[in-house]
Chain A
């Protein structure tokens, strides 16, 4: 075992960890917020919004994340030369870092999976509770805010930890586009040092530690929120 490379590359690894964590946290938070309206419109929306939301979820859940990332980054990139005036007027858009494409891809992916789960959660709230709320004179917005949504979110909470860990374990896909995430840094270390085992082992350890913290964090949340089982 050789570890003398570690001090030299530690700043790079920390930078990569930062990128990975940023993409994880932002995509989970924004993705979950997006999942609520998408899930709700599948249950309660008009026919049109049901089709759109259902189609979105089917696409996200039915295609590999890697394909989604590449479609967004290289797919859109390949369209730029075809658009007249693009280079003259929208250079900033062309130069938009791959980071933003990856962030969007991961957010949409999390939203798609979570929306499907939220759809089930909305449906599983007993009709009687909603009718009781209406009987108290709440309008539909209030029913949603005070009864339907909190009840649905509570039902989803125990599955959320697993979903976030799943999202974390998808992050090495960032490595396939030019963004320096933890996996890319590890790959660079491997290229520079010709070591295979040690950098990968180190990477695996970091992921394991992150998974541990995510599990603990959600266990903490769950212990503070009463969940009826």
Chain B
């Protein structure tokens, strides 16, 4: 009996402790660093435009939110398995994902661009990539775009786990081009290593694949949370919150954020 009591106390203590540690809303994001949006510094603290946007949106909802890192290729199944409450991770709202999950209103939008060596062909067509190697991050809408438009015209695709590794192999000369989000590649192109390369131009739009911007991904049944987040995004936008963050991270003009009003 005594042992049972001790066990009970231990269980109660554990329950109390774990409920304290749990945040109200938990958002999942790519475990691989995705600067300037979401990345963890050496101390393991989150930073970036998107992390601060999440804090801003959560402040509007009066909720305490935390961010958890999840491997990008399994992030939607993990959401459906209720490992966390939503995806706050630069997820493009494309048609395929909309079949599985709901999206909030767009909170930012960025263009998909081709990055290559400085002075490369700016007026590229799908035929430009014939026999060339394109690096992409696996599981992204940009990857699907390359598969649909550039693989049929003879491009060779190399799929990497994280954007960092794609950039590293462009530097090494192992790939000719990167197809990625303009904003996400900005820190790399601004760095001394990235001096080799430049944005050659935006790819022609395909909304079905690339999606109409980035939204918070939520389970289909969580409609109350969806409405709450939509209202909070609107409120944060009206305050100029997103714009202030874009200014802070020097991303003005590179991305569209949720409109005011």
Task: Identify the A interface with B (CB < 8 A).
Answer: 74, 77-78, 80-81, 86-87, 91, 94-95, 98, 175-176, 178, 184, 187-188, 190-191, 194-196
Contacts and interface: CB of A to CB of B under 8 A. Distances in A.
A149 B88 CA distance: 61
Given A80-B173, A81-B173, A194-B100, A178 B158 contact: yes
Interface stretch (B19-27, B163-171, B219-227): B163-171
Interface residues of B, number: 24
Contacts of B168: 74, 77-78
Tell me what chain B mostly uses at the interface: helix, strand, loop, or mixed. helix
Given A80-B172, A178-B158, A196 B165 contact: no
Nearest to B135: A178
Nearest to A191: B139
A175 B162 CA distance: 12
B73 A178 contact: no
Contacts, number: 56
B189 interface: no
A186 to B, nearest CB: 10
B159 A94 contact: no
A81 B66 CA distance: 40
Query: Lowest 4 A-B CB distances belong to which pairs?
Result: A77-B172, A196-B77, A191-B139, A178-B158
B81 interface: yes
B160 A87 contact: no
B209 to A, nearest CB: 13
A158 B165 CA distance: 40
Contacts of A74: 165, 168-169, 172
B174 A190 contact: no
Contacts of B172: 74, 77-78, 80-81, 94
A178 B173 contact: no
B260 interface: no
Interface in B215-239: none
B76 A194 contact: yes
Given A94-B174, A178-B158, A190 B196 contact: no
A178 B139 CA distance: 13
A213 to B, nearest CB: 29
Interface string B4-38: 00000000000000000000000000000000000
A130 to B, nearest CB: 50
B109 to A, nearest CB: 22
Nearest to A180: B159
Contact of A188 (B138, B158, B196): B138
A19 to B, nearest CB: 14
21 contacts: A74-B169, A74-B172, A77-B169, A77-B171, A81-B172, A81-B173, A91-B173, A94-B172, A95-B173, A95-B174, A175-B161, A178-B135, A178-B159, A184-B159, A187-B73, A187-B138, A187-B139, A188-B138, A190-B77, A195-B77, A196-B78
A81 B172 CA distance: 6
A205 to B, nearest CB: 19
Given A74-B165, A178-B160, A196-B74, A191 B171 contact: no
A176 B160 CA distance: 7
